């Protein structure tokens, strides 16, 4: 059954220089997240020093709206091919992957989910990373 939610579409925007990147969260109505509420004044926006921190807050804000809906979980494997003559410790690989990976969702262009009233969130669970022996 389709939910009659007015979806909040959130985005992360850069507000800084290339050498000192900072990020802000905005909604589709030109309001900015201050860390506690929404403001139309971009100067009041909370500045995030790291992109993952802004993404974490977007997740929390979206869960406030959608978190009471039933969850269905799907899995799509991501394969990492590492070419090396050296043995690489799995924990070192996980740390490197966590630092360099970004899973980008274009909600501003395509909505929060495949249907009105749905929210699709993706994440990579690096804790479950294991080597596949062929």
Cα dihedral value 121, 68, 64, 127, nearest 10: -40
pLDDT for 46 equals 97
Q: Give the pLDDT confidence of 5-23 residue by residue, as tens digits.
A: 566 889 899 988 888 889 9
Residue 4 reports pLDDT greater than 60: no
Strand 38-39: give its sheet, edge to edge.
11-14, 23-26, 32-33, 38-39
Q: Give the pLDDT confidence of 42-100 residue by residue, as tens digits.
A: 999 999 998 889 989 999 999 998 999 999 999 999 999 999 999 999 999 999 998 88
pLDDT for 10 equals 92
pLDDT for 83 equals 94
């Amino acid at each position: 059954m389709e939910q009659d939610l007015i979806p909040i579409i959130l985005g992360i925007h850069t507000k800084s220089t290339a050498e000192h990147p900072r990020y802000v969260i905005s909604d589709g109505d030109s309001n900015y997240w201050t860390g506690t509420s929404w403001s139309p004044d971009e100067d009041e926006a909370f500045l995030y020093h790291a992109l993952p921190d802004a993404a974490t807050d977007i997740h929390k804000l979206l869960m406030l709206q959608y978190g009471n809906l039933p969850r269905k979980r799907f899995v799509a494997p991501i394969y990492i091919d590492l070419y090396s003559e050296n043995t690489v410790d799995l924990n070192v690989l996980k740390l490197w992957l966590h630092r360099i990976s970004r899973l980008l969702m274009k909600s501003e262009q395509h909505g929060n989910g495949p249907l009105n009233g749905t929210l699709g969130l993706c994440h990579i669970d690096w804790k479950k990373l294991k080597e596949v022996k062929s």
